[in-house]
Amino acid sequence: MEQVDEGKTILAIESSCDETAVAILRGGKHLLAGLVSSQMELHARFGGVVPEVASRNHLLAAPNLLEKALHKAGLEVSAIDAFAATTGPGLAAALMIGTALAKGLALAAGKPFLAINHMEGHLLSPFFGKREIPAHLALVVSGGHTLLVDVKGVGDYNVVGRTLDDAAGEAFDKVAKLIGLGYPGGPIIDQTAEGGNPNRYMLPRGMRDSGDYQFSFSGLKTAVRYLLEKEKNVSQQDLCASFQEAVVEVLADKAIAAAKHFRHSRIAVSGGVSCNRRLRAILTGVCAAEGLELHFAEPWLSTDNAAMIAFAAASRLERGEISDIGKDITPNFSSF
Ligand code: KG4
Ligand code: ZN
C-alpha cells in the first residue's frame, strides 16, 4: 500500500512564563499531544510570577511532560522530525529550561532545532491548522505585551502599535490585585464584571485620541487606585465592569482604526486577553458593522501553550527555515 505523507512531526516546548507546555504536531495541523502544566497556584500567593520559582518548576515539570506527550502521541523520540522551543520573549531563566531541553533533544536525535518567538506563536494561533496565513491586522494581547501588527504573511510582521507602559493583561492583573481579587486578574475581572454597570465609574481611556496605534494602561490603573482610596462602598462588580470597558474599548477602537489604515479587511485577535468576553462582544459587533472579517484564537490556544509554538515552527519549517543550534534566548521583545 502506498504510504501517505502526513507531513513533518514537530515537538515544541514552551516555558517562557509560568506554564510548562509540550506539544507534538503533525503536518502543521494534527495535534497528537498538547499538554500544559500550570504553575498558577504556586505564584498566586505572591500575586504574580516569581522568576526563580518559575524556572525551578519548569525544570521539575518538563521531563515528565515530555514523556507523557510522547506516550500520548504513541511515538518514540526518533519519530520526531524537528524540535522547537520558545526562545523569547519571556523570563530568561524560564526560557532557558525549555530551550536547553529542545536543543538537547535535537542534538541527540540529529534533527533540526527551531527557535520560536512566543509572540509569533500567539499571533498565528487564530489560524491554527491552516496552511496559508492570510494578510491581516493582528491584535496580540497577553500578560506581557500589547501589539498591533500589520501581517502580510508568515514572517512578514510590522509592529505598528504597542503599549508604552503596562500590557493589557498586566493591567487586568494589577487592578485585580488592587481590588483584592487574586491572580491572574483577567478571568476574575471578566467574571466579576458580569452584569455590572460599565458606566458607573468614569475611568480614563488611555491614548484613545492620540492619533496613533500606541496604548497606555498605567494611568487607568492609577485612576482605579485613587478611586479605591477616595470612595467608600465601591461596588466590585461595577468597578470591574467599568475598568474592563475602559481597556477593551481602546483595544477595539485602535484595532479597527489600524485595520482601516493599513487596508486590511481582516482582524485576528490572540493572547490571554483575547478570552475576554467583553472584548469579543465589542469586536464582533463593530467588525460586523464595518464588514471586517474577525478571527479569534480558540480559548485553549489563547493562554500560553506549546501547540501554538509547534504551529509557528511548522509554518517556518514549511518554508525551509530552521535555526542555528547555538541560537541564544531573547528575553526582551523589540520587534519580530
Ligand atoms: O498569553 P498569556 O497566557 O500569557 C502571556 O504571554 O503573558 O496571557 C495571560 C494574561 C494574563 O494577564 C491574564 O490575566 C489575561 O491574559 N487573561 C484575561 C482573560 N483571561 C486571561 N484578561 C482578560 N479577560 C480574560 N478573560
Ligand atoms: Zn503568552
23 with 300: CB under 8 angstroms?
Answer: no
Q: Residue 139 Cα, ligand 1 centroid: separation in angstroms?
A: 13
DSSP per-residue letters across 157-217: EEEEEEBSSS-HHHHHHHHHHHHT--SSHHHHHHHHTTT--TTSS----TTTTSSSS-B--
Kindly report, residue by residue over 74-128, the tens digit of the pLDDT. Answer: 999 999 999 999 999 999 999 999 999 999 999 999 999 999 999 999 999 999 9
Residues in the chain, total? 336
Ligand 1 within 6 A of CB of 311? no
Residue from 91, 96, 90, 121 nearest 10 by CA? 121
Q: Residue 1 Cα, ligand 1 centroid: separation in angstroms?
A: 48
Q: Residue 256 Cα, ligand 1 centroid: separation in angstroms?
A: 21
Is residue 66 predicted with pLDDT exceeding 90?
yes
Q: pTM value?
A: 0.95
Burial (CB count within 10 angstroms: exposed 0-12, middle 13-18, buried 19+), residue 326: exposed
Is residue 274 predicted with pLDDT exceeding 80?
yes
In this prediction, residue 5 carries a pLDDT of: 63
Which of 145, 250, 273 maximizes ligand 1 atoms within 8 Å of its Cβ, making it the mutation to test the pocket? Answer: 273
Tell me the three state secondary structure of residue 143.
Answer: coil
In this prediction, residue 183 carries a pLDDT of: 84
Q: Residue 118 Cα, ligand 2 centroid: separation in angstroms?
A: 6
Residue from 63, 68, 70 nearest 15 by CA? 63
What percent of the chain lies above the pLDDT cut of 70? 99
Specify the ligand 1 atom closest to the Cα of 16. Answer: 6
Band (7; pLDDT cuts 50, 70, 90): very high
In this prediction, residue 328 carries a pLDDT of: 97
One-letter amino acid at 4 equals V
Ligand 1 within 6 A of CB of 185? yes
Band (258; pLDDT cuts 50, 70, 90): very high
Overall average pLDDT of the 120-148 stretch = 97
Overall average pLDDT of the 271-287 stretch = 98
Tell me the three state secondary structure of residue 89.
Answer: coil
Is residue 6 predicted with pLDDT exceeding 90?
no
Is residue 269 predicted with pLDDT exceeding 80?
yes
Q: Which ligand is nearest to the CA of 297?
A: 1
DSSP state, residue 272 = G
What percent of the chain lies above the pLDDT cut of 90? 90
Q: Whose CA is nearest to atom 13 of ligand 1?
A: 186
In this prediction, residue 4 carries a pLDDT of: 56
Using only C-alpha atoms, the chain has a radius of gyration, in whole angstroms, of: 20
Ligand 1 within 6 A of CB of 17? yes
CA distance 242 to 187: 15
